[in-house]
């Protein structure tokens, strides 16, 4: 089958002929109809997590998929051939930039019936991340105050919608051209980062989600109320990340060092900083499908590329050209 792979970290993405994945007892083999590009693909490609996630090279990239089940393993009970599904395959088993992918059934859910394959492929990673951030980590509910940076992006646009569904007050940062989009998604307060500094106009937030890092993350700590939580999705990683991946103990110490500056600043401000890294979860995707089908959430797609244009799709995301939402790769 055709797939888009890297042969080494920081190497170019290229098309290659690889074997159709073997189907284990708990796997479903999915014919890929659409896949979406995420910043996580860039982080993996650059070797950002190579000491913690031991991928075998050459590596087929891609973390999101929507498609049709064409084969099931002997122990699969929840799916049948012909089911339309979507998934964010678990770490070390990614590879959606391909014609087929084998996925553990625990990571799979039926595609929301009201979404096209293109729309559904834009959903899994960001929807799971939004759920795990807001519900599991943030305990967000009516009256919660949530700030998410980059509200027009794939994650930000999903966080805005889910936080509003949960009853929260939501603030976001966005560029001038994206203000109408994030407002339509439900943002209560929009700070145009080209015209104002969010730290000058926001305060008293319970939860802040930062995907920028650096000075932006440090300033984000200042808009939280005492006891508030800042979650960084691009880093710096902390000891909790090492624990999540069941890494050897020395990695906890190393990652603690990497995050010591921001954790110290958070402590001084009376708040908490934690690195966030989402996990695959088919049961959560099934619950989220209900919200999409009910119209509480909707995918935001920036643009689409054909499968043969996967290079271009990745370059488009890497260059920051997306105006809002996800970039999706489709098989014609």
Give backbone dihedrals phi and psi of 170, rounded to 5 degrees, phi first: -125, 130
As a whole number of angstroms, the distance between CA 202 and CA 200 comes to 6
CA-closest candidate to residue 148, choices 136, 163, 166: 163
pLDDT at 273 over 80: yes
Residues 115, 254, single domain; the answer is: no
The reply to whether 292 falls in a domain is no
Give backbone dihedrals phi and psi of 96, rounded to 5 degrees, phi first: -85, -10
β-bridge mates for residue 224, sequence order: 205
DSSP state letter for 321: -
pLDDT class of 173 with cuts at 50, 70, 90: very high
β-bridge mates for residue 189, sequence order: 171
pLDDT class of 48 with cuts at 50, 70, 90: confident
The reply to whether 288 falls in a domain is no
The reply to whether 237 falls in a domain is yes
The reply to whether 280 falls in a domain is no
Q: Note down the domain range covering 27.
A: 2-122+299-330
Furthest-apart CA atoms within the chain: distance in Å: 58
Q: What is the pTM of this model?
A: 0.95
As a whole number, mean pLDDT of residues 126-142 equals 97
As a whole number of angstroms, the distance between CA 270 and CA 216 comes to 18
DSSP state letter for 112: P
CA-closest candidate to residue 163, choices 190, 189, 137, 131: 131
As a whole number, mean pLDDT of residues 204-208 equals 98
Give every strand in the sheet of 59-60, ordered side by side: 14-17, 2-6, 59-60
Question: What contacts 114, CB < 8 A, 6 or more positions away?
Answer: 292, 293, 295
- Residue-wise DSSP of 156-214: HHHHHHHHHHTT-EEEEEE-GGGHHHHHHHT-SEEEETTT--HHHH---EEEEEESS-H
Reading the block at residue 226, the tokens are: 């005492």
The reply to whether 282 falls in a domain is no
| pLDDT for residue 92 | 93
Residues 117, 134, single domain; the answer is: no
CA-closest candidate to residue 244, choices 279, 207, 282: 279
| pLDDT for residue 151 | 95
The reply to whether 285 falls in a domain is no
Q: How many domains does the chain have?
A: 2
The reply to whether 287 falls in a domain is no
Contact 230, 217 (CB under 8 A): yes
Residues 95, 141, single domain; the answer is: no
| pLDDT for residue 219 | 96
CATH number for 308: 3.90.180.10
pLDDT at 170 over 90: yes
Domain final position from 275, 291, 309: 275
Compute the mean pLDDT over every residue in the chain, rounded to the nearest whole number: 94
The 10s digit of each residue's pLDDT in 210-253 is 988 889 999 999 999 999 999 999 878 877 877 887 877 777 77
More confident: 100 or 332: 100
Give backbone dihedrals phi and psi of 310, rounded to 5 degrees, phi first: -55, -40
Residues 101, 196, single domain; the answer is: no
CATH number for 189: 3.40.50.720
CA-closest candidate to residue 97, choices 64, 72, 67: 64
Residues 7, 115, single domain; the answer is: yes
Neighbours of 268 (CB within 10 A): 9
Residues 10, 92, single domain; the answer is: yes
């Amino acid at each position: 089958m055709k797939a888009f792979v890297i042969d080494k970290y920081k190497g170019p993405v290229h098309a290659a002929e690889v074997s159709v994945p073997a189907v284990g007892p708990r796997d479903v083999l999915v014919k890929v109809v659409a896949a979406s590009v995420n910043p996580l693909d860039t982080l993996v490609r650059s070797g950002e997590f190579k000491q913690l996630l031991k991928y075998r090279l050459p590596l087929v990239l891609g973390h999101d998929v929507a498609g049709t089940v064409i084969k099931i393993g002997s122990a699969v009970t929840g799916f049948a051939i012909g089911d339309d599904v979507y998934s964010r395959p678990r770490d070390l088993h990614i590879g959606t930039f391909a014609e087929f992918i084998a996925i553990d059934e625990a990571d799979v859910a039926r595609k929301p019936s009201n979404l096209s394959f293109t729309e559904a492929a834009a959903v899994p990673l960001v929807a799971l991340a939004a759920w795990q951030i807001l519900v599991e980590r943030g305990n967000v509910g009516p009256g919660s105050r949530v700030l998410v940076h980059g509200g027009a992006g794939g994650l930000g646009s999903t966080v805005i919608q889910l936080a509003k569904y949960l009853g929260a007050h939501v603030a976001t940062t966005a560029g001038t051209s994206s203000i109408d989009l994030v407002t339509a998604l439900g943002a209560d307060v929009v700070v145009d980062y080209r015209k104002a500094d969010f730290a000058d106009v926001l305060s008293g937030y319970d939860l802040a989600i930062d995907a920028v890092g650096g000075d932006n993350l440090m300033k984000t700590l200042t808009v939280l109320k005492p006891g508030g939580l800042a979650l960084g999705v691009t880093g710096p990683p902390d000891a909790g990340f090492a624990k999540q991946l069941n890494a050897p103990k020395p990695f906890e110490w190393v990652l603690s060092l990497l995050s010591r500056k921001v954790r110290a600043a958070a402590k001084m401000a009376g708040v908490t900083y934690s690195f966030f890294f989402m996990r695959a979860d088919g049961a959560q995707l099934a619950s989220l499908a209900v919200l999409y089908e009910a119209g509480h959430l909707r995918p935001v797609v920036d643009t689409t590329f054909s499968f043969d244009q996967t290079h271009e799709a990745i370059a488009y995301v890497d260059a920051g050209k997306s105006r809002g939402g996800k970039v999706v790769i489709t098989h014609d």
